[in-house]
Every structure is written in C-alpha cells, then in structure tokens.
Amino acid sequence: MKRGKNKFDVIVIGSGSAGFSAAETAQARGAKVLVIESGDWGGECPNSACIPTKALLKSAKRYREVTKNLEDFGISAGSVGFSFANIMAEKNKIVDLITSHGQKIPRLAKEFGIQTVKGKAVFLDQNTIVVEKKKYTAKAFVIATGAIDFIPPIAGLTELGFISYKDIMKMKKLPKSIAIIGGGAVSCEFATFFSTFGVKVHILQLDPTILIREDVEIANLATHELMKNGVEVYVDTKTLSVEKYGRRKRVTFDEGKHQREHIIVDEVMVAAGKRANVSELKLENAKVKVDDRGRLKVTEDLQTSAKHIFTAGDVSGGFLFTHTARTEGAIAGNNVVNFLEKQKSRLKRDMRVVPRVTFTNPEVASVGITSDTAGMLKKEVLIGRFPIGALGRAVTERDRRGLVKIIVDKKTRKILGGHIIGERAGELIHEIAFAMEVDCRVDVLANMIHAYPSYSEAIAGAASSLE
C-alpha cells in the first residue's frame, strides 16, 4: 500500500481496550496505523473506571473484614480506623502499576510500529481528520471513543453541580451523605464503597429494581444486602429536582405512589447510564449516520453507514464491558483490513455468552438470559437453585449469603443463563459461561466432580436441582 507522511491505511480514534485491540490487529495484518487519543492513554477502564474502582472496593472489603466479624474466627484486635487519603493513594499506586504511569499504551504502540497522536479528533471529510490543527488522512477508520455519562434532565442538577465516578477518583474527603441517581452496576459498587466507610447513601432508581439487567431474584437479594449495610434504596423513583439547602442539597423525588419526597445530602452522584461519545467528532462530515438519539447505526460486523468506517467498544451500542470491547476491537481491526483488501468476508460479533460481574458485597455475576426473559420469549425452562449457605466452604468462611441460579431449556437441557450472588461469584460464573460456550447439557455440570469444600460445588448443586 502506498503511504506518505500523515497518510495511513487505518486511523483508530481512541486508545482504550477496543481501540488498541483494533489497532494492534490491523497493524499485525500489514496496515499502517495511527491511534488518536484525546484523554488518558488506555481509556477509562485502567485510569478512572474498572481498575481504580476495584482497588477502592478491595480497601472497603479489607476494612469490613477487620471491623465486623473477627470474633467469629476467634480473633480480637484493637481499635481499627482508616485514612481516606491513604486509601486514595493506594488506589493511585494500582493505576500507575497497571498503566505504567500512563506510558503503557505509547510504549506498546512503539514496539508494534503503531503511530500515536494526542488530541481531539474531528472529521474534516470522509478521509481526513484534524487533530490540533494538523491533518491526517486514511483509507479507513475505526471509531472507539467509548461512552460518556447520560445526564438526566433534572431541575437544578446541572446548575448546582454533581459528581461522576471520575470525580470520585479525585475526591479529597468523604462526604457525610450522598444521593446516587441510578441503580446500575456503577451506582451499586460506589454505594458499597461509601457505605462501608460510614457515608449515608441513598440510591434513587427509576426502574422497579436495582441492577435491572440482572435476574429479579438476584437483584432483590443484592438490594437486601445493600440495605443491611445501611444504604437506602428507592425504586420506581423519579428524581424531580435538586435544590440548594444551606451548604447541602435537597433532592426531591416521587417514589411510586409517594409524591414529593425529600432527602438532604452533602453530595449528588449521577450514574444513570451511558451514551455514545461521538458528539464532537463531526460525523456528518464523514457521512456517518446516527439515529435520533445520537447513536451510531452499526451492523453486526461493526460497520457504520460509511462503508470505510467501523466501530468497536462502548460507542458501538452493545455491552459496556472492557472484555467485550477488546473482542469487538479485534473484530473491527480484522474487518477494516478486509475492507481495504476488498475481501468480502467479515467477522461478526457474537455476544451470546458474555459473563458480567458487579463488585458489590457480596458479588453479583451473570451470563445469558434471566428467568423473566425466558418467560417473555415463551421458552419452556427448568430452573435450578442452590443456596451458597449450604456449602461446607461457606460455613468455614463464616459467610453463608448467596444463591446460584441456572436457567435451562426444558427440551434440550442446554443452559440458557446463569446467575449468582455470593462470595467469588465473579469467578464461579465462568464455569456456567464455559458450559454455554461449548453448548453442553446441564447434566455435564451436575455430574462433574467438584472439589470439596469449594464454592464451585454450588454450580453442581444448582445443576442437580432443576424444577
């Protein structure tokens, strides 16, 4: 391929899990690749989302362990406290370790022969991008700009200010109380963190349950655990306004039939979902179509309405997970090169088996469809349940909370979904996911020997208890 300065085969916009995976894949197939990043190298996950959040949650878990149940193990300790400044400093160390102080992606790009540019990318035309007044052209593009927070239209919210998960990563001191608008994974994880360290947390969720994508039975158990930790959970709740109340904020909402309820808090966090981060790209100049909500129109091979432009990751409208973003990046990287080489073959994203984890206390993990979804699809199913508290391992750990639930097609006995709440849920779910991936019957899990005493026995227990 003929190449010149600032002329590339493929330009990838975004250096996160999706973007760098696309760039690496395209470069490995011989393409000259440029990666453009406007924010932190590596994207949100290692810098302000997945990794730092889990570091904070690990500090919270350790604090719970040494303050709440040491006596159950015959251990006593003196007064235990915490330093929020030190917790944040340790979180920063983890981020620096994962990102090599922000230099991991530039270093890898150099090793792979991928060029990089820092700055905001804007399409000038179908084949030209401008970054900091410099023009770069390419035959094809991959948009991997991720997603940004959806800010609900609540009176006074923008005027009085609010915080996001990114702001929490820079927080200097804990608020005494906080209202979190939204009840998804981000909301529940931060509710777990804040409540562990004595912050009064209120979750305001518009939907009938928190963790709306999870099985209702599991979501209700998660709600119960949050409330045990002091979190106030409001569901079927529409937040109406945020007003100044001295140095604090008054949040007004309708909870079901209860109208105009109020809470007074120090801070308001918004975690009400995400939308594609494309508004500043000037996609109209590239002839890329979006729908009336600003979402990209994307095929299953991740191609946009402009045939030479592909997408990957959160921006593409699928799952908002790092692990799916990485897979989509590889698909987009292959497909964009196939396009350049005029090959008709295309890889397609296959998201039938995507495990997910919410790092609450205890963890929530799932894969596949829920029992409610099975009902809506009019599938005849069998459901297996096993209480984690019945395990010898749970008894020895002095933590008997949790449930494993498996959804099985009644006729084929193939697994349609798995749902877990409990210790190590994020690890356990992968046994169910693997069984779904290889399309085996549930009886394989039921009959396989599982080590005793281990949490994995609950998988066999649920698989053996179908009704």
| φ/ψ (deg, to 5) at 138 | -155, 155
Q: What is the pTM of this model?
A: 0.96
Min mean pLDDT across 228-232, 276-280, 289-293, 461-465 is at 289-293
- Band of pLDDT at residue 447, cut at 50, 70 and 90: very high
Query: Could you tell me the pLDDT band of residue 292, with boundaries at 50, 70 and 90?
Result: confident
Known binding-site residues for FAD equal: 54, 314
Give me the residue spans of the domains in the chain.
7-42+102-149+275-340, 47-93, 157-272, 362-463
Measured N-to-C along each axis, helices 84-99 and 50-68 cross at an angle, to the nearest 10 degrees, of: 140
pLDDT (tens digit, 9 = 90+) per residue, 163-174? 999 999 999 999
CA 299 to chain centre: 22
Looking at 37-41, 73-77, 120-124, 217-221, which range is the least confident one? 73-77
Determine the average pLDDT of the residues in 408-428. Answer: 98
In the block, tokens 């196939």 appear at 338
> What digits encode the pLDDT tens for the residues 36-67?
999 999 999 999 999 999 999 999 999 999 99
- Residues listed for the chain: 467
- 370 vs 218: CA distance, rounded Å: 10
| pLDDT tens digits for range 211-251 | 999 999 999 999 999 999 999 999 999 999 999 999 999 99
Sequence-separated (6 or more) residues with CB below 8 Å from residue 41: 15, 99, 102, 103, 104, 105, 106, 116
What homologous superfamily does CATH list for 362-463? Answer: FAD/NAD-linked reductase, C-terminal dimerisation domain (3.30.390.30)
Show binding-site residues for NAD(+): 182-189, 273
Q: What is residue 4's predicted lDDT score, i.e. its pLDDT?
A: 63
Give residue 5's pLDDT. 78
Mean pLDDT of 77-89: 95
Residues at the annotated binding site? 54, 182-189, 273, 314
| Higher local confidence (pLDDT), 292 or 86 | 86
Same fold, 7-42+102-149+275-340 and 362-463: no
Nearest 5°: the CA angle 146, 151, 157 is 150
Residue 295: what pLDDT? 83
- 7-42+102-149+275-340 fold: FAD/NAD(P)-binding domain (3.50.50)
Does 2 score more than 70 pLDDT? no
Question: How would residue 140 be classed by pLDDT, with cut points 50, 70 and 90?
Answer: very high
Question: Which residues make beta-bridge pairs with 255?
Answer: 237, 258
Share of the chain above pLDDT 70, in %: 99
pLDDT at 338 over 80: yes
Superfamily of segment(s) 157-272:
FAD/NAD(P)-binding domain (3.50.50.60)
- Segment 70-75 mean pLDDT: 91
What integer pLDDT is reported at residue 294 of this predicted model?
Answer: 79
**Which ranges in 170-237 belong to alpha helices (H)?**
185-196, 216-228
Using the predicted structure, report yes or no on whether residue 334 has a pLDDT greater than 80.
Answer: yes
